[in-house]
Amino acid sequence: MKKKLCIATFISIFWVGFSFAQYADVYPTNWWVGMKNNKVQLLIKSADSSLYKSVVTIKYPGITLGKVSTFENGKYLAVDITIGATAKPGNVKINLNNNGATNTISWPLAARRKGNGSSFAQGVTSADFIYLLMPDRFSNGNTGNDRIAGMRDQSLSRDSLFTRHGGDLQGVINHLDYLQSLGVTTLWMTPVLENDRTERTEHGYGFTDQYKIDARLGGADAYKSLSDALHQRGMKLIQDAVYNHVDIDHFLVKEPPSKDWLHQWPNYTGTNYKDQPIFDPYGAAADKKITTDGWFTPLMPDVNQGNPFMANFLIQNAIWSVETFGVDGWRIDTYLYNDLGFMNKCNKALMDEYPKITMFGETWVHGTVSQAYMVDNTMKLPFKSNLQGVTDFQTNLYGIIPALTQNFGWTEGVNKLYTTLANDIVYTNPMRNVNFLDNHDLSRFFSIVGENVEKQKTGIMWLFTCRGIPQMYYGTEILMKGFTNPDGWVRLDFPGGWQGDSKNAFTGQGLTDDEKSVQELVKTLGNYRKHASALQTGKMMQYVPQDGLYVYFRYDAQQTIMCIMNTDQKDRAIDFTKYAERTNGFSKAESVVSNNKYSTKDQPVIPANSMWVLELKQ
């Protein structure tokens, strides 16, 4: 009897498992009713090389089957469908008939997420404060996913700069209280999508499947939990998107539908990392092609966005990600290397579906005009970008860094920051640009300024008071240091994120007095900014720097904030009457950071290499 029961049980389990096994994978993995983007192109991939011979039929109320496309690789089909207004949520049966045999794929059609523009896809604005972290290096909240059986990279060693350290999304969830204590309103993480390559998977920028969240970070459930936890706190989520390239182990590289899904060269050709050929009126077409079509690295093949099937694959995945995970904003990696016409189309598709969503692109270029070309700008040019904002490398590389590392001169030192901001005339709305001191690709700001604590504080005060959206890299608030030679030194673990850490930045255990003072400064300014209308949406006025003294104002009808940066080696007296255009009518100035108060009739002295942030009072 027991033997018969075991056999019956085995057969039952076998058939249940078999019934759930899909004959083919479908991308996107699901869709929704009621979408503006209701024309969906399904990419169907099977292990069966005769898939291309299949006759496709779909009988589902409200869904119309359109064109079916085949490729060189017989394992793929592209199926165009239209989801009409009458379609209801359910499982759509896609029938593939091949030589009399029919395979059926179940494809979910869901109800839409509620709260478009109010509880997700809200956009990120100058009223926000973005915190950037690397999940693998921030906190390990679940040691059970440190290694995942079957994945290519099984490394796990915190003693190495380039192996995985075990941080995950649960670790981030565990420390949202800490982020909120800093005044953070928005979380941006380096990519969380599956990065199933053999090594160097800690950074996440080599995708192997856009429809999977990396299991070592906790998978899709953990990502949804993080999104929900953020929104419950009134916070926002930015997703890091990469359209330009994928990983060498991506399924579309290992088994492409056809060769033209990637940019192919007779011999390996990397990008020249030059932005000028894209817009240079004297430029050679050959140089532009290398910029945009060259591979980012030998392990990151360049995607052909001119292929309409690949373009649809990428655009649909972007929409799918926002709807699935409740993303509020989009940071776009390696923006300049993309086909910019494709990027306009992709950006528009997101904005059509999510009118309040915002996007900013990584534009690691050299020159304000170069950067403005990539974004919505005031220049009269044949090509017009619809990208809303950028990660502002100009105010970083040619602004705050020289301001605090160079001696003052006619064009040097803080004059470079002044000049760079004066060039804002080329942007339609510079308030949408994201300011930063450092990130995962740059040397730590504290190291750049020679581990000078006062200069670090000056940089932070500038970050919170300049026009635009402030973004802080994890650890900047506790003086983490390191140069990008190699890059691993700027991607070290956040102290306290692992059980047994002797130093804990979340609790303050083991922090030095300097580290605590900088952390407190961030908390003070981050939370002050939440209620400072002048910093969130106010105008900006700057004065020509004199003897290393740079003064600018943020102001609106309700509030005026005076920012004084002394980059000189000498103390400087502040004469409020020199700035009468903004100081008239005010009798007092109160420090936002300390309890110091000044009369505008006096001439208080600001120490060398320091900064004041003063709110003017009548």
Mark out the alpha helices in 477-560 (DSSP H runs). Answer: 513-529, 533-537
Which residue ranges of the chain lie beneath pLDDT 50?
Answer: 1-20
Contact 311, 344 (CB under 8 A): no
Check 202, 362, 438, 615 and give the catalytic one.
362
- Give me the sign of the Cα torsion angle 321, 325, 326, 330: negative
Give the global pTM: 0.95
- What are phi and psi for residue 40, nearest 5 degrees? -115, 140
The residue assigned the tokens 């709260």 is 115
Label the pairing between strands 358-362 and 329-332. parallel
The full set of domains in the chain, from first to last, is 22-110 (2.60.40.10), 130-246+303-533 (3.20.20.80), 536-617 (2.60.40.1180)
pLDDT recorded at residue 595: 86
Can you read off the two tokens belonging to residue 117?
Answer: 């523009």
223-232 pLDDT, tens digit per residue, is 999 999 999 9
Can you read off the two tokens belonging to residue 437?
Answer: 């001191």
Q: Cα separation of 369 and 388, whole Å?
A: 15
Give the count of alpha carbons within 13 A of 298, CB side only.
2
pLDDT recorded at residue 15: 34
Q: How many C-beta atoms lie closer than 10 Å to residue 487's C-beta?
A: 16
Contacts of 373 (CB under 8 A, 6+ apart): 275, 278, 279, 379, 381, 383, 385
| Structural element, H or E, at residue 3 | helix 2-20
- What are phi and psi for residue 337, nearest 5 degrees? -85, -10
Check 196, 302, 333, 392 and give the catalytic one.
333
Helix (H, G, I), strand (E, B) or coil at 189: strand
196 is catalytic: no
Question: Could you please report the per-residue DSSP string of 291-338?
Answer: HHHSBSBTTBPBB-TTSHHHHHHHHHHHHHHHHHHT--EEEETTGGGS
Q: Cα separation of 212 and 198, whole Å?
A: 17
Contact 278, 291 (CB under 8 A): yes
177 is catalytic: no
Q: How far is CA 92 from the centre of its chain?
A: 33
